Structure 1
Amino acid sequence: MENLSLVNLEQTLKENFGFDHFRAGQRQIIEQVLEGKDTLGILPTGAGKSICYQLPALLFDGITLVVSPLISLMKDQVDQLEAAGIPATFLNSTVDEAESHFRMSQIEEGLIKILFVAPERFGLESFNYFISRLLVNLVAIDEAHCISQWGHDFRPSYLAFAKRIENLNPKPTVLALTATATERVTADIQHLLNISTSTTIKTGFLRENLRFEVVKNVEKRAWLRKYLDSRDKLDTGIIYCSTRKDVEEVSDWLKHHGYNARRYHAGLTESERATNQEDFLYDNCQIIVATNAFGMGINKSNVRYVIHYSTPSNIESYYQEAGRAGRDGLESDAILLWALNDLRIRNFLIEQGEGDEAHKELEYDKLRQMQAYANTESCLQRFILRYFGDEGEDCGKCSNCLDQRVLADITIDSQKVMSCVIRMGEHFGKAAVASVLAGSKNKKLIQWNFEKLSTYGIMKGVNQKAISNLIDFLTSEGYLEVSSGKFPLLSVSTAGRMVLKGKIKIERREAMVISKPKLNVSDNFNIELFDALKSLRLEIARLLKLPPFMIFSDASLQDMTYLKPQTDEEFLKVSGVGPQKLEKYGSNFLKLIRESK
């Protein structure tokens, strides 16, 4: 094996991946892996987690084993590696016996550097015997949050294969990677994989190029049509729905109105799912309407927007799905269309789920955090960072930061709400509190003698929906707290008690006026050249039967319009261009750039 301490990692990065510099956390993770230290890397979606195992795999004598949760994505991952000149393959249930034997012989002959498998593969003794005879230098665990029961996508198969790793001799280095891990999930991963806190690399969850927005109480289809018509027709995006029925209805409606959209959910045949996913990856359609069955591991870099047509079940899922926008680092939108009925659907799905009561209680708590996100008037990006135990400044571009509504003092109304919560013994939920404040004649309230409370009817004349919205706001801002479980009870927080004592004033905005930030595009950006480069990329991609982003990312094409390279040497200075891509595609792109005005 080459003396890894002498390897020029930047040179290896440029020659094989076309990048001049490592992103935050990548170099430290790679150095730890090369030193044989088990490592946990927590990097946001789009931050380049795959480089952390791909680069070391090139330097090791043996093989790198990548455990990936979805077999439907392994082919895309392998295609992308092979396009970069890195020999890789996968073994899963889609590969017949003869092809499996051929691939295993290639691995044994040292012709493959990276092998992708699903965690369930370790349940086959024949596979465990096969890998026991190989030199496995590194086991990379993608979507590592799946190993934790506290994670949003727990998979028992991850726990089972983790024990198998211990049996390999010599024991390989373990690299666990995830984009969404709360402090509790992080501790669980460390414990289950015996990874030290000292070798855990956490770069923070900030995605500076994403613009977050919450749109509440609108006619969703009308809003969606207006938004899509405001964008470039070639922009690609994902629209997430909570049910298969919604996916069908929204995709049919989009196609009826002339949008190039496909559908994706678990109820479709495997063939249609694969075809629709491929159409989206290859830019044969601009929009994919999907349930959360779509997206994990998808490395399409030029997704310009992710719209959640329905409210997701938790912040982890939301941030991971929203993070599929803008993986190339360019400005992109992450938009949540919030409606109260979505919350009812999510509660129903939790109640009908197969988990035990403890699991359901956890899901209810996570859903309430999602509700708090939708109702906060603080910076949306900062809210998400705090959820993951991170800190940051206001982003300055989300819908809340750009909100130009006038601030109104709502301290007195807030005191009325919190006073009512206390007088009801902090033993009741939002609906009951709102009913008492509004002076409802509900028989249950009379049975509890709530009409005798000093706060009964104190907000009479204000409709209960408005009172409920105020309670949601006070909860999202931390003045009220909610208990766990299916029927959450309200209580007043320490900050809320300070409001009651007149030591804190609460303000809330009144009317919505939102303006989108302008893209930060310099004067020498040539939109005509950029569109021509995209057309050339699409032409080459279809000829080679590759997704366009595997040729060059949008960020690389944008860099070409800025630099306007005229020679091979200048072309190598473009971000994402290395010697291999120069050799494969350079002449065609250079010719187009030279001919442009």
Structure 2
Amino acid sequence: MSRPLEILRTVFGYDRFRGAQAEIVEHVINGGDALVLMPTGGGKSLCYQLPALCRPGVAVVVSPLIALMQDQVSALRQLGIKAAALNSSLAYGEQVEIERRMRGGEIDLIYVAPERLMTDSFLTQLERCQLALFAIDEAHCVSQWGHDFRPEYLKLAALQQRFPEVPRIALTATADGPTRNEIVEKLSLEDGRQFVAGFDRPNIRYRVAPKGSSSRNQLLHFIRGDHANDAGIVYRLSRAKVDETAQWLQEQGFNALPYHAGLDKSVRAANQDRFLKEEGVIMVATIAFGMGIDKPNVRFVAHLDLPKSLEAYYQETGRAGRDGLPADAWMVYGMQDVARLRQMVEGSDAPDAQKRLEHRKLDALLGFCETTRCRRQVVLEYFGDHCEPCGNCDTCLEPVESFDGSVAAQKALSCVYRTGQRFGAGHLIDVLMGAETERMTSLGHDKLSTFGIGREFGKEEWRSIFRQLVAAGLLRVDVAGHGGLALTESCRAVLRGEKTISLRRDAVAKKTASRGRRGAETLAAPGDEALFQALRTLRLELAREQGVPPYVIFHDTTLLDMARERPGGLDELSQLSGVGQAKLDKYGESFLEVISLFEG
């Protein structure tokens, strides 16, 4: 492994491998197939990029999105690596030239979409090349049970028959047990090794709260309090909500942009380009945005609507804090979110087996939202991983009070039954609290035995109780009707008093002081923060000159090291993490000049 270590140091600028990287790299260099599961930001790309430089020939990287290809190629070229992408954004002449260079052994890594890779003409081209390996990125796209299914990925199994001597490495950050099994089966990786590196992202703080009267104001308080000048992503379920939220954030003074499939292709591309290349941009998006986004300094991911599953939630929140610095995963949700997602599942053309699976996945997500336990433990257990209570989620930092909710649950369930199992939580709460309204009288619900029996709780407390009963599977949202609540078989034991139920008592939202830029606490000496900002300014200027994202020049983590260590020359600068030889030669003097201004 002496040569891989030398390349790791001189090209990538790192002194040592992380976790299972060394074992994976050695396995692939020796010609072995592999499935690699590693959390976002854990160094998956290095697991194929380094073997690509050690093995003779060109490495073919399957990538699902043009923007992702371009981003990774830009980063590799900064390291002095000969990388290229073949996609529809290139002129015909450029494509021909890249294919010529590929056949001539002048390219180390070529990025292609699965659709192009599996054409007869491209496969014939590859037969005329010396091939180092195939890397299949975002491999969960092969799973029909996953959250980002791409049917084109199913064809990739043919690579094993056509190029049996070329090692294949499939990589993903998000796959539960069934999805992993499907990846192995669909890509014919039964004889390959599986490397599961754990799913924990300890730098991400998980926070979930019930939706209040204005979820937008909750978002505004969160961003202004913790991330006023940071890059972030806000996920919404619909295109209309994306446009509305982006415009509203702009009105509040934020640099916010929309992204969804309904926008013109050129607008989407321009907005994504600004998000990658500018500092402090907030992208408001549907799930159409984000797969493989490499921007390392996204400081928060916010959900104003529930994602479809814990896998989707983990994948989307994993776009925060790829650089290892502190980041936030913040979410609010309410009963309407549950009803909307249930309706989407039932209204789809999926077979019944898949619908049942989607409902189970949603149930697991609701359990995560309503848990009184450490949220990180719940997420990791879903993926077959585990950890001690993390101390970096809301339930750890502000432990949730729970109470024996058996009687409250009986009252709520009885009210659902007495009113005919067709009303939503709002009306049921009015019945329980004895609201004397015209509608109540016209329906005759003021004569029910459950009328007014729940005055010991306020409206928000009852909303929380109903939400938790849905999450616990004691009530279901009737998606065939108008979102009314109905009893499930599981509620019988609670109604009969044969089973007790513990409920969480939602804390009243508190005003919290701004924590400022997360990660600033790593700069202790006077003037370090000013130097860090000056280095970021230089980085942005250099990036704009080249038309590349700032982080492909240096990550924030490297700039923080510069601000702390204040290297006095190229030798000292070369010792910092992330400073390889090509970047040292290209940028070293410029950054040292800025550092020198802060000396003395």
Q: 1:419 to 1:63 in 2, by over 3 A?
A: same
For 1:465-476, what aligned pairs fall within 5 Å after superposition? 466=461, 469-470=464-465, 472-473=467-468
Q: 1:552 to 1:495 in 2, by over 3 A?
A: farther
- 2:552 is matched with 550
What does the per-residue CA deviation read over 1:494-548, in whole Å, with 9 as the maximum and x for residues that have no partner?
9989x9467x977646545586878542533711111111111111111222211
Q: 1:157 to 1:104 in 2, by over 3 A?
A: same
Distance (Å, rounded) in 1 between the aligned partners of 2:423 and 2:381: 24
Q: 1:459 to 1:159 in 2, by over 3 A?
A: farther
- 1:450 is matched with none
Helix, strand or coil at the partner of 1:167: helix
Is the deviation greater in 129-138 or in 179-188? 129-138
- 2:285 is matched with 290
Native 8 Å contact 1:306 1:321 kept in 2: yes
Residue of 137, 142, 153 corresponding to 1:142: 137
For 1:441-480, what aligned pairs fall within 5 Å after superposition? 460-461=454-455, 466=461, 469-470=464-465, 472-473=467-468
Distance (Å, rounded) in 2 between the aligned partners of 1:125 and 1:224: 50
Native 8 Å contact 2:75 2:553 kept in 1: no
What does the per-residue CA deviation read over 1:383-438, in whole Å, with 9 as the maximum and x for residues that have no partner?
11111121111221212212256x353254367479979x99xxx99979x96995
- Residue 400 of structure 1 pairs with residue 378 of structure 2: no
Native 8 Å contact 1:364 1:485 kept in 2: no
- Residue 562 of structure 1 pairs with residue 550 of structure 2: no
For 1:83-98, what aligned pairs fall within 5 Å after superposition? 83-98=78-93
- Residue 109 of structure 1 pairs with residue 104 of structure 2: yes
Residue of 179, 182, 190 corresponding to 1:185: 179
What does the per-residue CA deviation read over 1:196-233, in whole Å, with 9 as the maximum and x for residues that have no partner?
58821111110011011113222122222223323465
Native 8 Å contact 1:414 1:474 kept in 2: no
Distance (Å, rounded) in 2 between the aligned partners of 1:408 and 1:439: 22
Native 8 Å contact 1:66 1:140 kept in 2: yes
- 2:440 is matched with none
- 1:572 is matched with 574
Distance (Å, rounded) in 2 between the aligned partners of 1:577 and 1:471: 54
- Residue 80 of structure 1 pairs with residue 72 of structure 2: no
- 1:168 is matched with 162
Helix, strand or coil at the partner of 1:86: coil
Specify the code of the residue in structure 2 equivalent to 1:339. G
Q: 1:216 to 1:8 in 2, by over 3 A?
A: same
**Offset of residue 309 of structure 1:** 2.2
Q: 1:479 to 1:124 in 2, by over 3 A?
A: closer
Specify the code of the residue in structure 1 equivalent to 2:288. A
- 2:207 is matched with 213
- 1:42 is matched with 37
Native 8 Å contact 1:404 1:513 kept in 2: no
**Offset of residue 485 of structure 1:** 10
What does the per-residue CA deviation read over 1:14-49, in whole Å, with 9 as the maximum and x for residues that have no partner?
111111222222112111111222111111111111
For 1:371-410, what aligned pairs fall within 5 Å after superposition? 371-403=366-398, 407-410=401-404
Helix, strand or coil at the partner of 1:65: strand
Is the deviation greater in 582-591 or in 306-315? 306-315
Distance (Å, rounded) in 2 between the aligned partners of 1:392 and 1:166: 37
Distance (Å, rounded) in 2 between the aligned partners of 1:573 and 1:122: 39
- 1:581 is matched with 583
Specify the code of the residue in structure 2 equivalent to 1:24. G
Native 8 Å contact 1:404 1:514 kept in 2: no
What does the per-residue CA deviation read over 1:234-274, in whole Å, with 9 as the maximum and x for residues that have no partner?
41111111111111111111222321122211112221111
Distance (Å, rounded) in 2 between the aligned partners of 1:152 and 1:259: 30
Query: TM-score, normalised to structure 2's length?
Result: 0.86
Q: 1:143 to 1:496 in 2, by over 3 A?
A: farther
Distance (Å, rounded) in 2 between the aligned partners of 1:266 and 1:29: 37
- Residue 346 of structure 1 pairs with residue 348 of structure 2: no
- 1:490 is matched with 488
- 1:524 is matched with 525
Distance (Å, rounded) in 1 between the aligned partners of 2:359 and 2:243: 27
Distance (Å, rounded) in 2 between the aligned partners of 1:489 and 1:139: 51
What does the per-residue CA deviation read over 1:342-396, in whole Å, with 9 as the maximum and x for residues that have no partner?
3333334334434333333332332232222222222222211111121111221
Is the deviation greater in 91-100 or in 256-265? 91-100
**Offset of residue 492 of structure 1:** 4.5
Helix, strand or coil at the partner of 1:588: helix
Helix, strand or coil at the partner of 1:293: coil
Helix, strand or coil at the partner of 1:166: helix
Distance (Å, rounded) in 2 between the aligned partners of 1:338 and 1:481: 17
- 2:441 is matched with none
- Residue 24 of structure 1 pairs with residue 25 of structure 2: no
Distance (Å, rounded) in 1 between the aligned partners of 2:128 and 2:434: 73
Native 8 Å contact 1:439 1:460 kept in 2: yes
- 1:449 is matched with none
Is the deviation greater in 205-214 or in 88-97? 88-97
- 1:312 is matched with 307
- 2:438 is matched with none
**Offset of residue 122 of structure 1:** 3.9
What does the per-residue CA deviation read over 1:449-506, in whole Å, with 9 as the maximum and x for residues that have no partner?
xxxx9x9779544689855633543665x69698999899635499989x9467x977
Distance (Å, rounded) in 2 between the aligned partners of 1:15 and 1:494: 66
Native 8 Å contact 2:475 2:486 kept in 1: no
Specify the code of the residue in structure 2 equivalent to 1:588. S
Native 8 Å contact 1:62 1:134 kept in 2: yes
Specify the code of the residue in structure 1 equivalent to 2:244. E
Specify the code of the residue in structure 2 equivalent to 1:305. F
- 2:198 is matched with 204
Native 8 Å contact 1:409 1:508 kept in 2: yes
- Residue 223 of structure 1 pairs with residue 221 of structure 2: no
Distance (Å, rounded) in 1 between the aligned partners of 2:433 and 2:511: 35
Native 8 Å contact 1:216 1:337 kept in 2: yes
- 1:591 is matched with 593
Residue of 528, 532, 537 corresponding to 2:539: 537
For 1:504-515, what aligned pairs fall within 5 Å after superposition? 508=505, 511-513=508-510
Residue of 329, 332, 335 corresponding to 1:334: 329
Native 8 Å contact 1:430 1:468 kept in 2: no
Native 8 Å contact 1:244 1:291 kept in 2: yes
- 1:55 is matched with 50
Distance (Å, rounded) in 2 between the aligned partners of 1:193 and 1:488: 43
Q: 1:483 to 1:305 in 2, by over 3 A?
A: closer
Helix, strand or coil at the partner of 1:400: helix
Query: TM-score, normalised to structure 1's length?
Result: 0.86
Distance (Å, rounded) in 2 between the aligned partners of 1:494 and 1:139: 54
RMSD (Å), alpha carbons: 3.6
Distance (Å, rounded) in 2 between the aligned partners of 1:33 and 1:265: 37
Native 8 Å contact 1:65 1:136 kept in 2: yes
Distance (Å, rounded) in 1 between the aligned partners of 2:356 and 2:18: 38
Helix, strand or coil at the partner of 1:401: helix
Specify the code of the residue in structure 1 equivalent to 2:598. S
Helix, strand or coil at the partner of 1:214: strand
Specify the code of the residue in structure 1 equivalent to 2:153. Y
Residue of 245, 258, 262 corresponding to 1:263: 258
**Offset of residue 177 of structure 1:** 0.5
Is the deviation greater in 47-56 or in 195-204? 195-204
Native 8 Å contact 2:413 2:487 kept in 1: no
**Offset of residue 54 of structure 1:** 0.5
